[in-house]
Amino acid sequence: MEHIKIVFISDIHFSPGQDWSQCIWKYTPNEELPGLMDRFVDIVNHELRPDLVIELGDRIIDVNSERDVENTQSIYERIDARIGCPVFHVDGNHDFVHVGKQELAKLLHNPELPFVRVFKGYKCIFFDSLDPMLEGVGGAVSDKQLAWLEHEMNSDDLPKIVFSHHPLNYHEIHRNFIIPKETVPLMKVANCDTVRAIIESGRNFLFHAAGHLHWWSFRVSPKGTYIVNPPFSAAHPDRTNAPGWFMEADVWPDGKIDTKIHSIVPRRVIGDFVNR
């Protein structure tokens, strides 16, 4: 069985034309994002040529239903419509404030969460970590979805990769000043111990990938690897020159994962991390 190459992008927070100068979003230079997305598409199409692109949520900053629909559509047009391989999404807490999940799926030409797709023999499992949303930032996984996850993790022997917006365990983020202390408990799925127990006891679990933290993290456990994608747009502590971070992952059926973290500004690979 061949290896698969996946490119991850998350926390784009595209919401132009607003005055964000008085809040935390002042660190997200929205005027830079169209150019950064153009360069991302170019790198994906001409340099990396992955099998899949997965966007891990928080595409926008929520404003109101009209703007949020418009900005979600812009993401589809700027990324999905121009990338030469399949693009899939999971919803983040900012995507879902004013627009329903069904409508988000329609706007992005994606199946409604949760869903499964098989690529090159790898089973990709996309679940909804806002089921329900908690305090506008966090999320949990419902009993119904836990049963679905358990079924999908055990119904075949395919190697399995799992995706959600919220991480499935604690990641070291105390130096991430963009996340206030009181928000830290909302930085992982509330019932993550249950979700982890289900996926780790399933058949052939390789790794889980999330966004949400605005912080890169790569944790290896004997039962699987847990990765958090770095944010695309955060320039923090500066207000300009957002780095355009994203991640390239090469995955093998025996569970080997080789991830490279890319920055667009400046354009380079800033790290290469392998789980063995």
- Can you give the binding site for Fe ion, defined by CB under 5 A? 58, 92-93, 212
| Min CB(227)–Fe ion separation in Å | 16
Least distance in angstroms from the C-beta of 28 to Fe ion: 13
Nearer to Fe ion, 130 or 153 (CB): 130
Nearest CB to Fe ion, comparing residues 137 and 206: 137
Cβ proximity to Fe ion: between 100 and 136 the closer is: 136
Q: What's the first-to-final CA gap in the chain, in angstroms? A: 19
Q: Which residue is nearest to Fe ion (CB)?
A: 212
Contact present, 183 and 63 (Cβ < 8 Å): no
Shortest CB 139 distance to Fe ion, Å: 9
Q: How far is CA 267 from the centre of its chain?
A: 21
What are the strands, taking DSSP E only, across the chain?
A: 4-9, 52-55, 87-89, 115-119, 122-126, 133-134, 138-139, 160-163, 205-210, 217-221, 224-228, 246-251, 257-263, 268-274
Taking the complex as a whole, the smallest distance from the CB of residue 96 to Fe ion amounts, in Å, to 10
Kindly state the tokens that stand for 81: 């419509």
Q: Closest separation between CB of residue 216 and Fe ion, Å?
A: 15
| Alpha-carbon radius of gyration of the chain | 17
Residue closer to Fe ion (CB basis): 87 or 137: 137
Q: Which is nearer to Fe ion, 95 or 152 (CB)?
A: 95
DSSP alpha helix (H) spans, 114-166? 143-154
CB 179 within 8 A of CB 173: yes
